[in-house]
A and B are shown apart, each in its own frame.
Chain A
Amino acid sequence: MSVLLSARGLRIAFGGLKAADGIDLDVMEGEFLAIIGPNGAGKTTFINMATGYLRPQAGSITYDGQPILGLKPRRIVKAGIARSFQLPQLFTEHTVLENAALAIAARAGPWAPLAPLLQRRFRAEAEELLDRFGLLPLADRRADALNEGARKLADIAMAVALKPRLLLMDEPTSGVASAEKMAVVETLTRVLRDSRVTAVFVEHDMEVVARFADRVAVWGQGKIMALGPPQQILNDPAVLRDVIGVAPVGDGAGTGKEGAHAAT
Chain B
Amino acid sequence: MSRSTEILLALIGAALVLALAWAVPWLRFVMTIALAKGLAVLGILLLLRAGQVSFGHALYLAFAAYAVAFGASVVPETLVLLPLAALGAALLGLVVGLFVVRYREIFFGMLNLALSMVFYSVLEKFYAITHGTDGIRLPPTTFAGQTLSNEAQGWAMLVLALLLSLGFGALIRAYLASPMGQALAGIKTRETRLEFMGISGRRVLLAAYVLSALMAGCGGAVLAMTTRHVTPALAYWTASGELVFIAILGGAGSVFGPFLGAVAYELTRVYAAALVADAWQMILGLVLLLVILFAPGGLWGMGRALLARRRSA
Contacts and interface: CB of A to CB of B under 8 A. Distances in A.
B190 A106 contact: no
- Main SS at interface, chain B: helix
A172 to B, nearest CB: 15
Contacts of B109: none
A91 B178 CA distance: 15
B179 A117 contact: yes
Given A72-B195, A77-B198, A102-B197, A90 B175 contact: no
A69 interface: no
Interface string A116-138: 11100010000000000000000
Interface stretch (B161-169, B181-189, B300-308): B181-189
A102 B184 CA distance: 11
A190 interface: no
B199 interface: yes
A89 B198 CA distance: 14
Given A74-B198, A102-B182, A106-B197, A89 B177 contact: no
A116 B178 CA distance: 4
Interface stretch (A3-11, A92-100, A177-185): A92-100
A74 B182 contact: no
Contacts of A93: 185, 188-189
Contact of A73 (B177, B190, B195): B195
A110 to B, nearest CB: 10
Interface in A132-164: 158-159, 162
A114 B197 CA distance: 20
B180 interface: yes
Interface of A: 51, 72-74, 77-78, 82-83, 89-94, 98, 101-103, 105-107, 109, 111-118, 122, 158-159, 162
B174 interface: yes
A105 B174 CA distance: 16
A102 B183 contact: yes
A158 B193 contact: yes
Interface of B: 171, 174-175, 177-183, 185-186, 188-190, 192-200
B180 A51 contact: no
Top 5 nearest A-B pairs (CB, nearest first) are: A106-B197, A77-B198, A105-B179, A89-B193, A114-B174
B214 to A, nearest CB: 14
A74 B175 contact: no
29 contacts: A74-B197, A74-B198, A74-B199, A82-B196, A89-B193, A91-B189, A91-B190, A93-B188, A94-B182, A98-B182, A101-B182, A106-B197, A106-B198, A106-B199, A107-B198, A109-B199, A112-B178, A113-B175, A113-B180, A114-B174, A114-B175, A114-B178, A115-B178, A116-B178, A117-B177, A117-B182, A122-B179, A158-B193, A158-B197
A162 B198 contact: yes
A51 B193 CA distance: 12
Contacts of A122: 179
Contact of A94 (B174, B180, B185): B185
A137 to B, nearest CB: 22
A145 to B, nearest CB: 13
B69 to A, nearest CB: 32
Nearest to A106: B197
A182 B183 CA distance: 33
A238 B188 CA distance: 48
